[in-house]
């Protein structure tokens, strides 16, 4: 009987630190961004330490300025989230980086919602959806600098939106290799100014 008690005690003395170590060390935390609406998902995969074997996964959704605007303007109603890995680390991995890191900056920028809302108000939802698709495309290496002289909240009227867009268009050049379709979309959205 004394031997059994000793074995149980030894088992617990080993099991508890191993469980604590596994819980603390085996967590891989990461963020992803939705290609459809710009929402961010924070996730944790609880894994057996130093293996990719996941025994528990948890997620939490974080609305962004862009995802709130997309919802308010009904640009992605009823969509299924299309998550793109952004970055993460843990369980022996110091820094994992994915193509979704570009989406995170667009989703969290105050400029994108202002621009998208201007498109909905002063153009149409179809064009706003095209721009949203382009801005949330992880294959496009460099996105247009929308913050150029952008109003802090919203455009006061259509004339202000048109003037801002045309100035921006005139001051930018696009590389079709790195930014396929951006120039054509700008040309369809804003007319060039005559100098």
The angle subtended at Cα 29 by Cα 47 and Cα 49, nearest 5°, is 25
pLDDT of residue 25: 62
Calculate mean pLDDT across residues 156-178. 83
Q: How confident is the model at residue 78 (pLDDT cuts 50, 70, 90)?
A: confident
- Residue 181's Cβ-side half-sphere holds a number of Cα atoms within 13 Å equal to 10
Each residue of 127-161: b (16+ CB within 10 Å) or e?
ebbbbbebbbbbebeebbebeeebeeeebeeeeeb
Q: Check whether 190 has a pLDDT greater than 90.
A: no
φ, ψ for residue 116, nearest 5 deg: -60, -40
The pLDDT value given to residue 111 = 86
pLDDT at 182: 79
What is the rounded distance in angstroms from the CA atom of residue 108 to the CA atom of residue 110?
6
- Residue range 14-24: average pLDDT? 61
Question: pTM (2 decimals)?
Answer: 0.77
Domain boundaries, given as residue ranges, for the chain:
2-189
Give the per-residue pLDDT at 8. Answer: 74
What pLDDT is attached to residue 195?
44
Range from 73-77, 93-97, 155-159, 190-194 carrying the lowest mean pLDDT: 190-194
């Amino acid at each position: 009987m004394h031997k059994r008690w000793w074995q149980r005690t030894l088992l617990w003395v080993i099991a508890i630190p191993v469980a604590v170590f596994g819980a603390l060390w085996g967590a891989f935390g990461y963020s992803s961004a939705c290609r459809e609406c710009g929402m961010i998902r924070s996730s944790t995969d609880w894994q057996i330490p130093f293996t990719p074997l996941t025994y528990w996964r948890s997620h939490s959704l974080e609305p962004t300025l862009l995802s709130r605007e997309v919802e308010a303007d009904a640009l992605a109603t009823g969509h299924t989230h299309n998550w793109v890995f952004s970055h993460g680390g843990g369980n022996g991995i110091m820094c994992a980086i994915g193509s979704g890191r570009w989406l995170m900056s667009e989703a969290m920028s105050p400029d994108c919602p202002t621009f998208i809302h201007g498109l909905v108000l002063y153009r149409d939802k179809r064009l706003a959806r095209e721009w949203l698709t382009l801005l949330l495309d992880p294959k496009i290496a460099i996105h247009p600098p929308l913050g150029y002289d952008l109003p802090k909240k919203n455009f006061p009227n259509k004339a202000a939106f048109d003037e801002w867009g045309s100035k921006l268009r005139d001051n930018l050049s696009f590389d079709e290799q790195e930014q396929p379709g951006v120039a054509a979309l700008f040309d369809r959205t804003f007319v060039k100014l005559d100098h």
